[in-house]
C-alpha cells in the first residue's frame, strides 16, 4: 500500500514557476512509475507526465513539454513537478499517482492504483 501526499501548490502569476512535491510512504517506492495528472473544474482528468522508476525516462503531454520537468529522489521517496512559464490554462488541481504495473499505457489514469489528494495550482493572468 502506497500513500501519496502532494504539496507546493499555490497562486502564481502567468510566466511564473512552482515546484510541486509528491511524498510517498507505506511501500517500497523505487519500483513505482509515477505520474502527474491535473483536473480543472468541469473537465476530465488530464495526463501531464510520468517518470520511470529509475528516473531515467520522462514523458510529457504536448501542452507542457519544454515547460514542465518531472524528477524523483528515491532516497527521499519523493517525486517533483517543476513548472515554469505557467499559463492561466495550467490552473487545475494537480495529482500524483503511482503504479507498479509494467507494459501499460502510463498516460491513462486507470493504469495507476494509488493517488494523492491533489494540490491546487492557480495561475492568474
pLDDT tens figures, 4-58: 999 999 999 999 999 999 999 877 676 889 999 999 999 999 999 999 988 889 9
Q: In sequence order, what are the residues at sequence separation of 6 or more whose Cβ sits closer than 8 angstroms to the Cβ of residue 12?
A: 18, 86, 121, 122, 123, 124
Tell me: the pLDDT tens digits for 68-122? 999 999 889 999 999 999 999 999 999 999 999 888 899 999 999 999 999 999 9
Question: Where does residue 116 rank: exposed (0-12), middle (13-18), buried (19+ CB within 10 A)?
Answer: buried
Mean of per-residue pLDDT scores for the chain: 94
Amino acid at each position: 500500500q502506497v500513500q501519496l501526499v502532494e504539496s507546493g501548490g499555490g497562486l502564481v502569476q502567468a510566466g511564473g514557476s512552482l515546484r510541486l512535491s509528491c511524498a510517498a510512504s507505506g511501500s517500497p517506492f523505487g519500483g513505482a512509475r509515477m505520474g502527474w495528472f491535473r483536473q480543472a473544474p468541469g473537465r476530465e482528468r488530464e495526463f501531464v507526465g510520468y517518470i520511470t522508476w529509475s528516473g531515467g525516462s520522462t514523458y510529457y503531454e504536448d501542452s507542457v513539454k519544454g515547460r514542465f520537468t518531472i524528477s524523483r529522489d528515491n532516497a527521499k521517496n519523493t517525486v517533483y513537478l517543476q513548472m515554469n512559464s505557467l499559463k492561466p490554462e495550467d490552473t487545475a488541481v494537480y495529482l500524483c499517482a503511482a503504479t507498479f504495473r509494467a507494459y501499460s499505457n502510463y498516460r491513462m489514469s486507470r493504469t495507476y492504483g494509488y493517488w494523492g489528494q491533489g494540490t491546487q495550482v492557480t495561475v492568474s493572468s
